[in-house]
Structure 1
Amino acid sequence: MKRIDDLLGLRIFERVVTLGSLTAAAQALGISLAAASKRLSKLEQYLDVQLIHRSTRRLSVSDEGQTLYEYAQHIVAELEQAEEAILQKSEQVSGTLTITSPNSFGRRHLVKLIAKFKRLHPNINIQLLLSDSIEDMIAEGIDVAIRYGELPDSRLIAHRLLNNDRILCASPDYLARYGRPQTLGELHQHQCIIISRHTEINWAFPSQTIHIQQAISCNDGEAAHVMALQGMGIVLKSYWDVAEDLTAGNLIQVLPEQAIISAPINIITLKNQHQPARIRLFIDFLISSLQPMQMRKEKT
């Protein structure tokens, strides 16, 4: 009777099936594609069965492979738990944490928080990818993604990070020169900064939708933020994006009763049975670090 003692081969096999790609499995384990392929073939040769059917377009799991996968999930999870328990006792949680985030949120908040997290856990390597496009977490080997709203992909799980309340605001200079609107209808009398490639847009509020025509348009949220700081007009922004400037008095909220709740900001991770300690630590750190911002918003 053959006994499986190739733990690395078993780990590679489990990652290939879970992630659906030999390339993704190799990236997740920090080994070369060639080494992963060779080790998987060696496991198949030892067992004298084909675990995975390979083609140029896709991988599929054989019946024997599916049987082994059901056991491999539990074995690999228990091995990782044992390794992390040892590392945590010696306070040496390590490995690479790959994070992706929208550009604005990443620059304004995430970079500062990562710096603090890195000081707490110096043995964890950080790879930060800022992009406003939706990256394929599995294909790109991403551990944690900051995204708006919840995704329908069943391979992912969302952890609520922040509500994404959107508010109207302008600089004190602008309001001193042009006055503060008292109703949504008065927005037509003001310069409004819209984040769009077009010169007109609809702003939808709980009570009504306002068609903004007399506007300054910009296709970048960060630039629109700066325009508001420079007194160029009223802008509709996420609270988290302007919170620091509101506290400092650089911006003032306009029509506060008209705040809009849009899709929340979530931390997205792969739906694994067992997450590495570095991912769990980062999620807990991020949620606890951003809670004060949420509490400040709720009190206003």
Structure 2
Amino acid sequence: MSDNLLDMLVFVRVAEAGSLSAAARELRLSLTVVSRKLTRLEARLGVRLFNRTTRSLTLTEEGARFHARCVRILAEIDDAETEVTSGRDSALGLLRVTSTFAFGCRWLAPLLQEFQARHPGLHVHLDTEDGVANIVERGYDLAIRFGALADSSLIARQLAPNRRVICASPSYLDRYGRPETLEDLAGHAAITFGDPPNTHWIFADGRSVNVKGVLSTNNGELAHRWALGGAGLILKSIWDVRDDIKSDQLEVVLPDVLLPAAPIHAVFPHNRLTAAKVRLCVEFLAARLKDIAGN
């Protein structure tokens, strides 16, 4: 690898690790070498890539743009080497994945750990955020997204149908009664979440109910905790509450009333279509998620 590419690799690792020392440990280089390469890179480019204080290291605006380009360049190099050395049936190199925080923590992280264990030559980097990341600009190989997808130049494959359910804790239902009709929902405490919180629940047959409650949040995990604590009804994807339902911590209400599904999709750029690490990962996730979020 040329000095320029090595400087680029060091820059990317520092940006993602958040410190020179962490990047140095990851790259097995001395702190002095890492610092010298960053200084040389900034001097060659004529811009400051990081804002440095004694306690933090953050990308400048120019640094953020350069980071996105560097990630894409290094990924292309990695894919080229993988294609030449391993053919189409081995997952090698770096796989960069993005997903929502809750799904990433609960399901995707252990699944990616299992996938990596099957492919020892693979390195996996998982980012979690609840916004919709631009996977091309930020150099991701794969994104996991939910529900209807906007038209784009990206490729999408459905991994699981992911039905949704309304549920509550048995303690709440024992205290306030179990809804028998959609109209009954309006008389119950609903835990709503989103930005803004969703108070208008729409059903597969076109009917809808305006729900109300005293607890709302922008965070689905907090809403989930409130439901487990007996605070009210919640509308959730089956992947999020499946284990709670099995363990009787939550109970599905109106089980015969269908809600529109929010399918789980794998989304990736066209230039990742033939990459073995992406194709094999998508196939693996599709097989495993059938048990978690299938019908």
TM-score by length of 2: 0.69
2:257 counterpart of 1:258: yes
Note the C-alpha offset of 1:81. 4.2
- The whole-number CA distance in structure 2 between the counterparts of 1:213 and 1:245 is 23
Q: CA 1:137/1:196 → structure 2, altered by over 3 Å: closer, same or farther?
A: closer
- The whole-number CA distance in structure 2 between the counterparts of 1:251 and 1:244 is 9
1:84 matched residue in structure 2:
86
Give yes or no for contact 2:94–2:122 (8 Å, CA) kept in 1.
yes
2:115 matched residue in structure 1:
117
- The whole-number CA distance in structure 1 between the counterparts of 2:206 and 2:144 is 30
In structure 2, give the amino acid aligned to 1:157.
I
Give yes or no for contact 1:84–1:277 (8 Å, CA) kept in 2.
no
In structure 2, give the amino acid aligned to 1:83.
T
2:99 counterpart of 1:97: no
Instruction: Structure 2: state its 5+ residue gaps.
Output: 1-64
2:71 counterpart of 1:27: yes
**When the two structures are aligned, how many residues end up with a matched partner?**
229
2:127 matched residue in structure 1:
129
TM-score by length of 1: 0.68
Note the C-alpha offset of 1:145. 0.2
Secondary structure of 1:137's counterpart equals coil
Q: CA 1:176/1:79 → structure 2, altered by over 3 Å: closer, same or farther?
A: closer
2:39 matched residue in structure 1:
none
Instruction: Structure 1: state its 5+ residue gaps.
Output: 1-20, 37-76
| CA RMSD, 1 decimal | 2.9
- The whole-number CA distance in structure 2 between the counterparts of 1:152 and 1:97 is 24
Deviations 1:248-287 (A, max 9, x none): 1111100012231244210001113752211112111111
1:38-57 equivalence runs, <5 A = none
From 136, 139, 155, give the equivalent of 1:138. Answer: 136
1:232 matched residue in structure 2:
231
Note the C-alpha offset of 1:99. 0.1
Larger radius of gyration: 1
Deviations 1:99-126 (A, max 9, x none): 0001111111101111111211122111
In structure 2, give the amino acid aligned to 1:125.
H
- The whole-number CA distance in structure 2 between the counterparts of 1:277 and 1:170 is 42
2:176 matched residue in structure 1:
178
Identical amino acids, percent of aligned pairs: 33
Secondary structure of 1:138's counterpart equals coil
- The whole-number CA distance in structure 1 between the counterparts of 2:270 and 2:194 is 35
- The whole-number CA distance in structure 2 between the counterparts of 1:200 and 1:95 is 41
1:281 matched residue in structure 2:
280
In structure 1, give the amino acid aligned to 2:86.
E
